[in-house]
Amino acid sequence: MYKIYFGDNILFLTNNYKKNYENNFGLFFQFYSGMNFQLLIDLFENNKTLKQLFVFNNNLEEMFAEFKTGFQFIEAAGGLVFNKKGEILFIKRRGKWDLPKGKVEPKEECHNAALRETTEECGITNMEITSILCSTYHTYYIEEQKVLKKTFWYKMEYSDHEELKPQQEEDITFAKWFNKSELKTITDNTYPSIIDVLKDANLIS
């Protein structure tokens, strides 16, 4: 299943109609070859009351490929970074708490992009990837162009004591280590996809 954020609303692409129908509330729509997928997306984006849309078909990858045709597709990578105290690194970008991440460069491996972007956005080095976390999808606009971004997330450990230096040219105004007990501060003012990363890492339920 693909879970794609349109702001706070979610479009699910699934090949398991029965399971999703039994466990979720929302509008269900069957995908078929040749359908105008972009019209459906436009209707979903413009509907102010519909929070979840499930589009289903047995051929999940064909459906996702058709969905992608209406977007510029970008891959990014980021890190959930822990220091020796077990604290977690967050940044504040455009008024919301976020995790360091950024675009994967051509021919760059995703894990290397996650390390590089974390260094660039927070000013720290000496990080090591310890595990792979989830991938998230969200959409946004660059002028009139619709963009679909896939972000690969990695759990990292940091072993030094460098001063955090937020990358202001990327609209990052603050970087801080948080205890696990302080995560409500983050969850009260962050993006739904970041909530998913924290859940995947078993930091919140």
Domains of the chain: 2-68 (no CATH), 76-200 (3.90.79.10)
User: Hey, what are 30's tokens?
Assistant: 């069957």
**CB proximity list for 129: less than 8 A, separation 6 or greater:** 79, 111, 114, 115, 154, 155, 156
What distance in Å separates the CA atoms of residue 79 and residue 43, rounded to the nearest whole number? 34
Which of 86, 93, 61, 104 is CA-nearest to residue 157?
A: 86
Show pLDDT as tens, one digit a residue, over the chain (205 residues). 999 999 989 999 999 877 766 666 678 889 988 888 899 999 999 888 888 999 999 999 999 999 999 999 999 999 999 999 999 999 999 999 999 999 999 999 999 999 999 999 999 999 999 999 999 999 999 998 999 999 999 999 999 999 999 999 999 999 999 999 999 999 999 999 999 999 999 999 8
